[in-house]
Amino acid sequence: MMNMKIRIAGNTASPCYFAIKAKGYQVEIFSYLESEKENEWSFDYNATKDDLFFSATSPEELLGLISMWETRGDNWRANEKEADEYWDITCNIPMYDRDGNLIENK
């Protein structure tokens, strides 16, 4: 039984922001008006520390990039084997229609 369940939602942005700050990063947030008519905005979140720079469109994504680099280091990019394996994984996942029914013949 899983006791901890977290999914990205409106209540995850600020904890991720403060987790990044706790790791010693400076965080800058920029907003850009996408559509005056619809009053739509987009955001960029940048984190810097020493000679490191990370950029994403949400604090959750930003923390994910930082975590990836902390785990994998300067060789963070997927090698050919990893890229192929990830491709195979994503090509073989179950697919569902809008009503949640499994699509048998994909």
Number of structural domains in the chain: 1
* 80: in domain: yes
* 74: in domain: yes
The whole-model pTM stands at 0.83
Report the C-alpha dihedral over residues 56, 12, 8, 2, rounded to 10 degrees: 140
* 28: in domain: yes
State the amino acid at position 58 in one-letter form: S
> What secondary structure, in 3-state letters, does 9-52 show?
CCCCHHHHHHHHHHCCCEEEEEEEEEECCCCEEEEEEEEEECCE
3-state secondary structure (DSSP) of residue 82 = helix
* 103: in domain: no
How many other CB atoms are there within 10 angstroms of residue 82's CB atom? 10
* 67: in domain: yes
Residue 106 is predicted with a pLDDT of 58
Q: What is the CATH number of the domain that holds 70?
A: 3.30.160
* 18: in domain: yes
Residue 39 is predicted with a pLDDT of 84
How many other CB atoms are there within 10 angstroms of residue 63's CB atom? 24
* Residue span of the structural domain in which 68 resides: 13-91
Q: Concatenate the DSSP letters of all residues of 57-75 into one string.
A: SSHHHHHHHHHHHHHHGGG
Condensed to tens digits (0 to 9), the pLDDT of residues 23-68 reads 999 999 999 998 888 888 999 999 999 999 999 999 999 999 999 9
